[in-house]
Structure 1
Amino acid sequence: MSTTTPDNAAYGGPSLRSGIDTLRSRWGWIVAVGVLISLCGLIALGSVVMATAVSVTVVGFMMVVSGAIEMAHGFASKSWGRFFLWILLGALYALAGVFAIMNPLLAASVLTLMLGAGLVASGIVRIILAFQMKEGAPWGWVALSGLVTLLLGGMILAHWPVSSLYVLGMFLGIDLIFAGTGWIAMGMALRRRT
Structure 2
Amino acid sequence: MKQWTKLLLLGILSLVFGAFALGNTVVATLAVTTLVGALFLISGGFQIAAGLTGDSGSARIFSVVLGALMALLGLSFLLNPLEGTISLTLLVLILLAASGIVRLILAFRMRSTRYFWPMLITGALSVLLAAYIGSNFAVASVSLLGILMGVELLFNGAGMIALAFFVRTMSQR
Which segment is superposed worse, 51-60 or 114-123?
A: 114-123
**1:88-133 residue CA offsets vs partner (Å, 9 max, x unmatched):** 1111100000000111121110111121122112112211210111
Query: Is the helix fraction higher in 1 or 2?
Result: 2
Alignment partner for residue 121 of structure 1, among 87, 90, 98? 98
Residue 133 of structure 2 is matched in structure 1 by 156
Q: CA deviation at 1:79?
A: 3.2
Q: CA deviation at 1:45?
A: 0.5
| Local SS of the residue matching 1:44 | helix
Alignment partner for residue 36 of structure 1, among 10, 13, 18? 13
Alignment partner for residue 105 of structure 1, among 70, 82, 93? 82
Structure 2 distance, partners of 1:176, 1:148, is 22
Structure 1 distance, partners of 2:163, 2:64, is 45
Q: CA deviation at 1:85?
A: 1.3
**TM-score, length of structure 2 as denominator length:** 0.93
RMSD: 1.5
**1:45-102 residue CA offsets vs partner (Å, 9 max, x unmatched):** 0100000101110111111110011111111122332222111111110000000011
The answer on 1:132 being equivalent to 2:80 is no
**1:128-185 residue CA offsets vs partner (Å, 9 max, x unmatched):** 2101115233100100010111111111111113211000000000000000111111
Structure 1 distance, partners of 2:41, 2:113, is 49
Q: CA deviation at 1:189?
A: 2.6
Residue 70 of structure 1 is matched in structure 2 by 47
The sequence identity of aligned pairs, in percent, is 35
Judging changes above 3 Å, is the alpha-carbon distance between structure 1 residues 82 and 134 closer, same or farther for their aligned structure 2 residues? same
Whether the 8 Å contact between 1:117 and 1:157 is mirrored in structure 2 is: no
Residue 35 of structure 2 is matched in structure 1 by 58
Structure 2 distance, partners of 1:136, 1:82, is 46
Give the paired residue count: 171
Alignment partner for residue 122 of structure 2, among 126, 134, 145? 145
Structure 2 distance, partners of 1:157, 1:64, is 28
Which segment is superposed worse, 73-82 or 57-66?
A: 73-82
Tell me which amino acid in the other structure corresponds to 1:131. Answer: F
Alignment of 1:156-175 (within 5 A): 156-175=133-152
Alignment partner for residue 68 of structure 2, among 91, 95, 98? 91
Whether the 8 Å contact between 1:56 and 1:108 is mirrored in structure 2 is: yes
Whether the 8 Å contact between 1:52 and 1:105 is mirrored in structure 2 is: no
**TM-score, length of structure 1 as denominator length:** 0.83
Residue 168 of structure 2 is matched in structure 1 by 191
